[in-house]
Amino acid sequence: MAIDDLRALAERWLADDPDAVTRDELRELIAGLPATTAELRDRFAGPLTFGTAGLRGRLRAGPNGMNVAVVTRAAAGLVRWLAAQDADGPLVIGYDARHGSREFAERTARVATGAGRAALLLPGPLPTPVLAHAVRSLDAAAGVMVTASHNPPQDNGYKVYLGAALGGPGGAGAQIVPPADTGIEAAIRSVDTLAGVPLGGPGTVLDETVVEGYVDRAASVVAAGPRALRVAYTPLHGVGGAVLTAAFRRAGFDAPDVVAEQAEPDPDFPTVAFPNPEEPGAMDLLLALATAGDADLAVANDPDADRCAIAVPSAAGWRPLTGDQLGTLLADHLIRRGRPGTYATTIVSSTLLRALCAARGVPYAETLTGFKWIVRAAGELAFGYEEALGYCVAPDLVRDKDGITAALLVAELAAALRAEGRTIADRLDELDSEFGVHRTDQLSVRVTDLDDITRTMTHVRGTPPTRLLGEDVTGTEDRLPDADVLTVRTGRTRVVIRPSGTEPKLKAYLEVVEPVADGDLAGARARADAAMTDLRREVSAALGLA
């Protein structure tokens, strides 16, 4: 695009931008041309696309960023789409403590009321599961959660949940799926000028009753039983701390010991490189607190508290569990409790849940990645999880991943085992001994140019590996055009390659299964670890990363 055309495009956007801060930001970039050409081109390369994860992007002026102008268009498109579907009921709006979240939520409320729809705002920065629950409990037409979850501090996002009328039995209070995403996207594109979007009143700010209702229901997830347990906890500078603590107390547990440096919401996330408990170093302060306090369990939520990570004590120190390990533990616990229904996970999660369900004679389902699919996997969903630390342990409460109820359920398991003189590590040993060591890992490559992901996926599709760990590949499955996912299998390995749906990353999900011979669990785990090291190297080479 020529500089004069780029200038004209930016000036048209500037004239329609309702926010003084981003107008000033854009004026400065326009005045800086031609030195700012690359930056302006990036901001006007195209609008953020409204997909099944809603919107997510950097906080900055222009159509390719999260700002008041983009949120106003998104809200206007959403309420137009809801009207076209004849969807009755209010729009419930939640937000976290990130930069811009409250402003974006309040703007969404004014757009909704301006279109004649009631807008109900949660009473402050709160976890995503509270919003997902509120959509169901308030019989809303839809819900909006302003959050970028575990993304870096410069990002924000906008997620949409559907009520029962539009979501159906499995999707009541769940995130949108096609064709809702394309319908909303088309409605957003139909918005002409923002000056023509009517703005109404601020809507109704709900009182704490909506939070109390969630806490009461969350506490009921755990059954009667032992409660003696010392828990160390971090909300990672997010909004989960007060709600999780209240839920633990309501369920009969002592309040957890909280990492002081990360206890209060802080949109800059100053103590971590990335506010994601999966990232190296993110749980260091938590594990230090757990060690100092002689805790039985260490728990971390991500900033909007829809994910849950745990670590358990071992002879070698604190041992963080993978999402697959915790997912299988929770499924096994619920099966032992006799919960009926289908146990579901995704195509990138470990195959251990499939084996567990087959052995226990309970229904199993496997879906594409994302909780929008997991919660729709079966009419009667008992439990669902994905390896990225997401768990739906109470589908009738929250039809999405919920890091608070997951933490309660793992606390129940840990307390019951502790009362027997056993630990979560002991239960993991039992599962590995019965089903073999299912070692999982992930290669994750963050990019600045999304075309790099496309090129890598094209490369690996053109020349997929034919041997892994010395074994011939027995199956290759390409899920295009339905999903950008390639799966490669041998007798004891599986590799799933896909772009991330929420971050600029390419991901390869790796699994090695090592049987336990003659009760030698330590030997099987050592072999699995060595095999995973080799598999990482081979897959890196196949992706052109080595």
Catalytic residues, by residue number, are 149
- Helices vs. strands in the chain: H and E counts, helices first: 18, 23
What's the longest Cα–Cα distance across the chain? Answer: 74
Residue found under tokens 């039985």: 296
* DSSP at 368: S
Pairing relation of β-strands 142-146 and 155-162? antiparallel
- By C-alpha distance, which of 226, 227, 256 is closest to 240? 256
Burial class (CB in 10 A: 0-12, 13-18, 19+), 396: exposed
- By C-alpha distance, which of 164, 82, 149, 155 is closest to 119? 82
Which tokens sit at 251?
């369920």
CA distance 465 to 429: 33
* Rounded to 5°, angle at Cα 238 from 234 and 240: 70
CA distance 509 to 443: 7
302 in Cβ contact with 276 (< 8 Å): yes
CA distance 299 to 320: 10
CA distance 61 to 540: 37
CA distance 276 to 386: 15
291 in Cβ contact with 242 (< 8 Å): no
Burial class (CB in 10 A: 0-12, 13-18, 19+), 139: middle
CA distance 385 to 388: 8
Residue found under tokens 């579907």: 85
241 in Cβ contact with 258 (< 8 Å): yes
Which residue type is seen at 15?
A: A
Which residue type is seen at 502?
A: T
**Sign of the torsion formed by the C-alpha atoms of 20, 26, 29 and 34:** negative
104 in Cβ contact with 72 (< 8 Å): no
95 in Cβ contact with 66 (< 8 Å): no
CA distance 63 to 278: 30
CA distance 73 to 499: 27
Return the SS3 of 312: strand
CA distance 106 to 102: 6
**Sign of the torsion formed by the C-alpha atoms of 277, 279, 282 and 287:** positive
